[in-house]
Structure 1
Amino acid sequence: MTAVSFALNHMTAPALPLDDFFKLATSLGISAVEIRNDLAGNAIIDGTPAGDVKALAQKHGLTIISINALQRFNEWNDARAAEAQDLIAYARDCGAKALVLVPVNDGSGQKDGERQANLRQALTALKPLLEAAGIIGLVEPLGFEICSLRSKTEAAEGIRAVGGEGAFKLVHDTFHHYLAGEEKFHPELTGLVHISGVTDPDVSVGEMRDPHRVLVDADDRLDNVGQAKKLRDAGYSGHFSFEPFSSVIHQSSGIARGLRESMAYLSAGL
């Protein structure tokens, strides 16, 4: 089987300015990155023009595979539409291939019938905006019990219901897949995989949160290797993007070494 294609999400090292983050990626032999719009004092939120981001990525020989993310995408209203248009334009102008779409995650919009209708309304509205810009919408279900879109199967049904197979793909996040207890994989619709591990032996599954997410190693409780293997065996050939949220990782002075070790562990397992 072909070598694993790794990518790096800026959440791996959120304190690094974009130039240094891009340098980190290239130092690891990684050529694909995800940038974010939720990092204070950093591009995109600091007002850095999209053209500057594009030039910086080109300087380092990197492909920006996504902007992460349009939050509460399935709560469609005028404010969300304006936000979506701005982010899609930014993605187009900085050379990003996709925009991650994150659902409402506060306990609202969960009722059966309501959540499917909300999803389809948002997908229907986003589809022409994405198609006009040549940007893919990456729908990322979250496994938390309070999330309005936990199921990748439900997301896939929504995408197909609006004829959106050309405009939308799924994000398979190994952490959220595990939390949701979802057994079904959708390799044919998967456009990106987010990888992170949980190694704390004491936290229960129901208590797992973003701060528990570290780099994947032999102590991983989420079976990242098994999940990745199932996806690859079923035909997925896209990127596996590191997205740890733990402050232990963010504050590590040995992040490059840690990433190399995690890449080696995952590659060996696959």
Structure 2
Amino acid sequence: MPSKLTFALNHMVAPGLKPAAFFALCRDLGLSDVEIRNDLSGNAIIDGTPAAAIKAQAAENGMSIATINALQRFNEWSAAREAEAIELADYARDAGAAALVLVPVNDGTGKADGERQRNLRTALTALTAILGDRGVRGLVEPLGFEICSLRSKREAAEAIEDVDGTDTFRMVHDTFHHHLAGEPDIFPGMTGLVHISGVDDPAVTVSDMRDPHRVLVDAADRLDNVGQIRALVSGGYQGLLSFEPFSPVVQKLTEPRAALAESIAFIRSRV
């Protein structure tokens, strides 16, 4: 089973690195897939780096761009959101990115039963044409936080099917958010990407876990990344396992390569 595991890096692993250096880090780890982001201050994409430049730098390092992460508040559809979606989808196409991650509203609004399902279908319907016309896949990422407007992967999967969106959309299985949501089902056949990170703080409660707690996966992991990955692979998932730690402890490492290699080796040895 370990031979089936294919790892990738999300730029959040080392947000201080410029894209070329980030791509080189991935290459040095023997990886070939990356996720770039549009929320890193002073870095691409937010600094105006052209998509063609990102595409060229990725190619120079032998990298495939798996996603742009992300269209935020995607399920709060509006004219402004549509314009943002078109801009990001154009950038993804021109950079050679395969997919755009779709992150739901996460501020306590849009949660009401009925409202959240309706909003989700409205957004997916509109995005079907925008993404489909550009050959970009949409990756819906439910978040496990209690305030989130889309916590359930089952609700996401049902909405994708309801709008006839299975040619355009898949879901992100984030091991952190899956643990927080407490939803047992994993939907490996509807999963297009897996985000992995661990929590090793023994004191924090599950309901109090937040992004800064998210570190690399090791033996102290409380989220059962190993068990989640085993279940996904056993269910037929053969896609990427992309490291997405948000902890400053990881992000400020002067030599992230060694720590990442160690985490990769740990997961391979356990799965």
The TM-score range, normalised by the shorter chain, is over 0.9
What residue ranges of structure 2 are gaps of 5+ in the alignment?
Answer: none
Cα drift, residue 253 of structure 1:
1.8
**Where in structure 2 are the equivalents of 1:69-88 lying within 5 Å?**
69-88=70-89
Structure 2 counterpart of 1:108: 109
Q: Residues of 2 paired with 1:56 and 1:257: CA distance?
A: 23
Q: Deviation per CA, 1:144-175, whole angstroms, max 9, x where unpaired? A: 00000000000000000000000000000000
Q: Which residue of 1 aligns with 2:91?
A: 90
Which residue does 2:157 correspond to in 1?
A: 156
8 A Cα contact 2:52 2:95, kept in partner: yes
Give the superposition deviation at 1:71. Answer: 0.1
Q: CA RMSD in A?
A: 0.5
TM-score (norm 2): 0.99
Structure 1 runs (4+) deviating above 3 angstroms are none
AA aligned to 2:130 is L
8 Å Cα contact 1:192/1:238 also seen in 2: yes
* 1:47-62 correspondence runs (5 A): 47-62=48-63
**Identical pairs, percent:** 63
Give the distance between the partners of 1:188 and 1:9, measured in 2 at CA. 22
1:267 and 2:268 are equivalent in the alignment: yes
1:11-30 superposed matches below 5 A: 11-30=12-31
SS in 2 for 1:104: coil
- 1:254 Cα offset (Å): 2.9
Q: For residue 178 of structure 1, report the CA deviation from its aligned partner.
A: 0.1
Asked whether 1:225 is paired with 2:220, we answer: no
Partner of residue 180, structure 1: 181
Instruction: Name the counterpart of 2:254.
Output: 253
Count matched residues.
270
Partner-residue secondary structure (3-state), 2:218: coil
Question: Residue by residue, what CA displacement relative to the aligned partner does 1:242-263 show, whole Å, maximum 9, x if unpaired?
Answer: 0000000011123111100000
CA contact under 8 A between 2:4 and 2:238: conserved in structure 1? no
Provide Cα deviations, 1:220-265, integer angstroms capped at 9, x if missing partner: 0000000000000000000000000000001112311110000000
When normalised by structure 1's length, the TM-score is 0.99
In the alignment, structure 1 segments of 5+ residues that lack a partner are none
Aligned residues of 1:3 and 1:267 also touching (Cα < 8 A): no
1:174 and 1:194 in contact (8 A); partners too: yes
